[in-house]
Chains A and B, each alone.
Chain A
Amino acid sequence: MAGVQVANVSRSFGAHKALDNVSIDFADGGFYALLGPSGSGKTTLLRQIAGFDFPDAGRIAIGGESVERVPVEKRRIGMVFQNYALFPNMSVADNVAFGLSVRGEAKATIATEVQRALDLVQLGKLGGRKPHQLSGGQRQRVALARAIVTKPRVLLLDEPLGALDKALRVDMQIELKRIQREIGITTIFVTHDQEEALTMSDRIGILRDGRLVQEGPPEEIYDRPQSEFAATFLGDANIFRGNATGTGIRLPDGTTIAASTGASVPAGVKASCAVRPERIRISTSAAKPDPADANTLTGQVSKRIFAGNNSTYFVERDGQTLKVIVQNTGAERLAEGQSVVLSWSPDSTVLIA
């Protein structure tokens, strides 16, 4: 086991900068998600760490040892591919045994290690099957067993759950997390699914256009996004744009919004505020439901989407559509067209430079 340090790594393909001066420290034993839209460089970064491709500049270290020019087969990593990449000509057991067998391990050792790995992913009885006889979830588990049986220093996962259907994906998320905890391996996980990143990882790195936008624990990124992109890519957010006042921002129409978290921006400079839809309270009377809610706005409900345990209201206000999520507590539901008052606390408002 080992941590991974990525320092000032850049990689271009022709004129396209796939990675632009990216630095991340992956601590030993942690579970990291690299999150970003397609083309953000997250897979390129994973391939640099794996050693399929070498960076143009920068340093990559695994367990403190520089590896940026070491080919993949010498890096002692385990990788799970998006399409699983199981060898179709080999049985499940032979697939898992491959990494041990190319190292020239003794047959008896290989057999016990393979069985242990298959037991860990709960496929102990399917060693004799061929990959095409397995379901998608089972193939996923074989790919995982194959990647960890060699006791790699770091486990790399390239959108491993992307090909599974939703219910199976949730099962595999829990399973993957359990296995990762059990063997305590540093895990780096590429995904474009923000929910997956939030539920599974200890830390998230958000990438956009080859740059690291923000990195930290899921709660921190969700509660204190440092950019409009981070705020809207990880979860949903209402964004207000205006000029900083020192305690918040002033919107173009003169309304002020108080913010007590986020960046400190000198007064007068252009800035924005992000508010999560579930932090906003919606009511029909002018009286605030909570006196601590310093921020109030009025608007009109334009649309309501009922989703069982909650409802999403779209509220029109000065040409902007705001999103408000209300838990289904049995209270009266608001009709489309109704005038409403929105209120929320400055603590729920993040100032973004």
Chain B
Amino acid sequence: MTQMTFARAINSGLRKSLENDPKVILMGEDIGTLGGVFRVTDGLQKDFGRHRVVDTPLAESGIVGTAVGLAYRGYRPVVEIQFDGFIYAAFDQIVCQVAKMHYRTQGAVKMPITIRVPFGGGIGSPEFHSESPEAYFTHTSGLRVVSVSNPQDAHTMIRQAIASDDPVLFFEPKRRYHDKGEVDESLDLSAALSLEKARVVTEGRDVTLVAYGPLVKTARDAATAAADEGVSVEVIDLRSLAPVDFATLEASVRKTGRLVITHEAGKSGGVGAELAASITERCFHHLEAAPVRVTGFDVPYPYSKLEMHHLPGLDRILDGVDRALGRPNSLSGLEG
């Protein structure tokens, strides 16, 4: 075990993948000489060369589209989209090409492409640098969508994503890049929790709180705070947003009877909507209350002075927990 930052843990995972498979190739803007704007790819071009860690022209569709061609040729490209808000320029290549090539060719052509996306807010950045576009991709069949919440998962799951024969959208919570944690780099991938599994990170009895990416830490803090008030919150790190590990969620909700979901992305049509609907379908008779969503608002990501109002924080999450439990809360007295 080694103590390292979140960013370093991904770097180490990328390095392992580059070492283990000569077909792994990294592509993106500023990822080579600079080591990425967040330094996630720091030192990799120096060690693996310009042909394996490729600084590309500034063209997101071009990056993903050429990755498709490389995958056609048998490569395993790992693409970095510099910021969440820049991914839309590559939308067609991701949705129409990467996601559908395997289906289109009846399995003849695999697209083992990993698309790394630093996402989410909380860092005081300008427009288009704090977005949470994951629901566009969870709605796209053919893609796997994951988000990581801690250094160990970041290290393990980037390696699993790269090893996956299906394309993976890999959402990295950029405000957690500097968080530190213990990472076992010698971990056996086949023994690790598989990529599509959720994880119960805090066990509890009264309410199930589901989070992913940057908000898992906030959710755990909320659970600690709730415990002080005698409320036992079970926190689940969703990890895989598509497909969702409903078995783990169902087991928890059957136990607690209450569900709170939190994410930074806007509420309507978001990942939380899918979780609330599916859990209601699957365990309606175990629910003691309607599922509660604590999310960003349905607004464009706001300017940084106001972003803390948009982002669900510990108190808003606890308010949601209170709603799920029927305790006094900010909406007490309102219907729905």
- State whether these chains interact: no
